[in-house]
Amino acid sequence: MELIALANKNKNKVLNFAVIIVAFIIAGNIYKQQTREIESLKSKNNMETKKNTVIENINKLEKSIGAYKGLLAKKDASSVINTVGNIAKESGVKIVSVKPIAEQRQADYIKFPLNLVLTVPNYHTLGSFISKIESYQDVYVVEGIDIKFQEQAKELAVSLIISSIAFTPLETIGR
């Protein structure tokens, strides 16, 4: 009987203690679930941050490519010949003949080679001409050179192969 009396007397305390234990168990389960969700969100956040970094790098590369596309502007053989002729006049070089070589199409660009025969008073003038060609705003490359001194005219006879590179838009390639 004493046990029953003691149980009745502490009934509220036992019930309160049981409620507190159940509340702790529920709170612990909720905490574990929220912790898993937070870790999942952190993982997704890290993955999205990496994706953003890759996208930023792609954007930077696209800007670089765009800058190079501007350098490799679309042109044709006649504009290449006119440009080389103007540079020759500025440099004091006489063009004896210009022979266009068949253009060479690649996946992303077209190469316009020219075979030039020049007369030049001295090596300095030739060097100036080549320097102006290769440092021109468009892309020109001197691919071959043959120099002979002409005793009678006291000048240099030069045979050059100069190529101009032009960007090929993707839609003209058929991609």
Using alpha carbons, select from 161, 97, 96 the residue that is nearest to residue 130.
161
Sequence-separated (6 or more) residues with CB below 8 Å from residue 91: 125, 128, 129, 132
pLDDT in 10s for each residue of the chain, 175 residues = 677 777 777 778 878 888 999 999 999 999 999 999 999 999 999 999 999 999 999 999 888 877 766 555 556 677 788 888 999 999 999 999 999 888 888 888 888 899 999 999 999 999 999 999 989 888 888 999 999 998 888 899 999 999 888 776 654 444 4
Q: Do residues 100 and 125 lie in contact, with contact meaning Cβ atoms separated by under 8 Å?
A: no
Question: What's the pLDDT at 72?
Answer: 53
155 sits in which H/E element: strand 155-167
pTM exceeds cut of 0.75: no
